[in-house]
Amino acid sequence: MPDTTLTINGRQIQAQEGQTVFEVAREAGIRIPTLCHLDGLTNPGSCRVCMVEAVGASRLVPACTTRVSANLVIETNSDRVRDERKRVVEFLFAERNHVCAVCVACGHCELQDLAIEVGMDHVRFDYQHPHLELDFSHHLFGVDHNRCVLCTRCIRVCDEIEGAHTWDLAGWGTDTHVVTDQGIPWGESKTCTSCGKCVQACPTAAIFVKGSTVGESRKHPDEIGFLVKSRENLHCHD
């Protein structure tokens, strides 16, 4: 039974305590864009794309980690939210080297789609152009840190679903990056099962199947949610 009522974009919506604003909005057919959220995984609230306005709060809050409460009034599409969301996406493009024209994910990239959704026609911030490495040591997959948005989907899917915990974050600030087995080349990893879940979960071409060329990398992130649901069903039958 619904046990609380909140307001999203002027609509009274019933929800259950413990649900997030993101979940409730989605059930009500209100789209909140996101990059780090992936069905079946925990929410780190790291990408800041799903920021919404909680009326009365001075700062915007991430919809994916904010729990619903009675009398909460949320705006998901105000001028302020749209401005902020666009700025966040521009920062993502400015931080690393996202050269869509020569990217294996071009045309099938969640970051590229997000830029379209927020109406980004140019980036107002200085591009950082960091010098980043590529890792082609794995026999099936490649890592291109130029395209990484640090959403941590790879880390979470590997830890929470595959149970291998090959991936992790290393470094601080602008030096933060994903690593395999605490920083050794992926191909030398003892924990990686080569299951490819990180490839499917990755929203850009930071992790991809080797041998793909421009525009050929098509991901299936929905498979992660499907897998989790299937497991839940399996447990029901036990």
DSSP structure string for 77-118: SSHHHHHHHHHHHHHHHHHTT--GGG-TTTTS-HHHHHHHHT
For residue 82, state whether it binds another protein (rule: CB under 8 A): no
- Give whichever of 59 and 131 is closer to another protein, judged by the CB atom: 131
For residue 131, state whether it binds another protein (rule: CB under 8 A): yes
Tokens representing 231 are: 């497991």
| Sheet bearing 134-135, strands edge to edge | 134-135, 141-144, 207-209
Closest distance to another protein from the beta carbon of 143 (Å) = 16
For 94, list phi and psi in degrees, rounded to 5: -75, -25
Q: Which residues pair with 69 in a beta bridge?
A: none
- Give whichever of 44 and 215 is closer to another protein, judged by the CB atom: 215
Closest distance to another protein from the beta carbon of 133 (Å) = 11
- Give whichever of 41 and 103 is closer to another protein, judged by the CB atom: 103
For residue 195, state whether it binds another protein (rule: CB under 8 A): no
For residue 127, state whether it binds another protein (rule: CB under 8 A): yes
Residue of the chain from 102, 190, 237, 238 that contacts another protein (CB under 8 A) = 102
How far apart CA 182 and CA 169 sit, in angstroms, is 8
Q: Given the rule CB under 8 A, which residues bind another protein? A: 93, 97, 99-103, 106-107, 112, 115-116, 119-124, 126-127, 129-132, 146
